Amino acid sequence: MKRMIGGRIGFLIVLVLLISIFPTTIVMAYSIGDYHWDAAGTTYDISSLPSNWQTQVSAAASSWNGSGANFTFTSSSSSVNDLTQEYRPDDSSIGLSGGYYIYGTNHWASCWTIFNTRYSFSTDGSSGTYDIQSVAVHEPGHWLKLNDVHFWPWESKVMYFVLSTGTLRRTLQQDDINGINAIYP
């Protein structure tokens, strides 16, 4: 009888250990790249954007600055990292962001963001338009090397990969904050 109980307890311990190995990456509702900025901050240039967009982009940058991570965005018209608008009829992205690194290193540098004006934008997420601040809070996540997250029910996270018109998604969720703090502790 003792042997049987011991066997079952042993089986349960092994089972729990095995289960605990696999869901680690699933439970973390953020995804990070394997490269990052060397410095604890960078600048960004929004001078070519309309003034009401600039306000919302700055608010989005402030959200990330307030995440507790060791990284700060600072606005500067002389920055090489710019946010602009461009008409790209053959690109489905509402907003897109890029950056560069040399493969084999993990030193990330020089980023850009484009708001694709094939779509309509607004500063209040009006019906049929994309809210500038909701897009603007997602894109710096890519600058920081947070990747998109794809799985339902993660649609409240700013790094979720799609956005609906008429939707405000401006607030960092705990997983977004955990992600950025994991990269820049």
Partner 1 sequence: MKKYLCVILGIFCIGFTTIACSNSIESGLANSKPTPQTGDLVQVVGGLLPDYSLDDLINVSDNIVIGYVKEILPAQKGIRKESGSSVIYTDVLMEPQEVLLGEAAQEPIMVRIWGGKVGNEVDMYENEPVFTINEQVLVFISKFTSVRAENSNEYQPYYRVNGGILGKYNVRADRVYNEITGESFVITTLKNKVALLK
Binding site for partner 1 (CB under 8 A): 6-7, 10-11, 14-15, 18, 33, 86-104, 119, 135, 138-139, 142, 147-148, 150-151, 161-165
Q: Is 42 helix (H, G, I), strand (E, B) or coil?
A: strand
Q: Which of 62, 27, 23 is nearest to 154 (CA)?
A: 27
By C-beta, is 28 or 109 nearer to partner 1?
Answer: 109
CB of 141 to partner 1, least distance (A): 8
Min dist. Cβ of residue 54 to partner 1 (A)? 19
- Residue 46 beta carbon to partner 1: minimum distance, rounded to whole angstroms: 17
Q: Which residues of 45-81 are buried (b: 16+ CB within 10 A; e: fewer)?
A: bbeebeeebbebbbebbebbbebebebebeeeeebeb
Work out how close the CB of 10 gets to partner 1 at its nearest, in angstroms, rounded to a whole number: 5
Contacts of 117 (CB under 8 A, 6+ apart): 85, 86, 87
Q: Which CB sits closer to partner 1, 43 or 119?
A: 119
Q: Which is nearer to partner 1, 46 or 94 (CB)?
A: 94
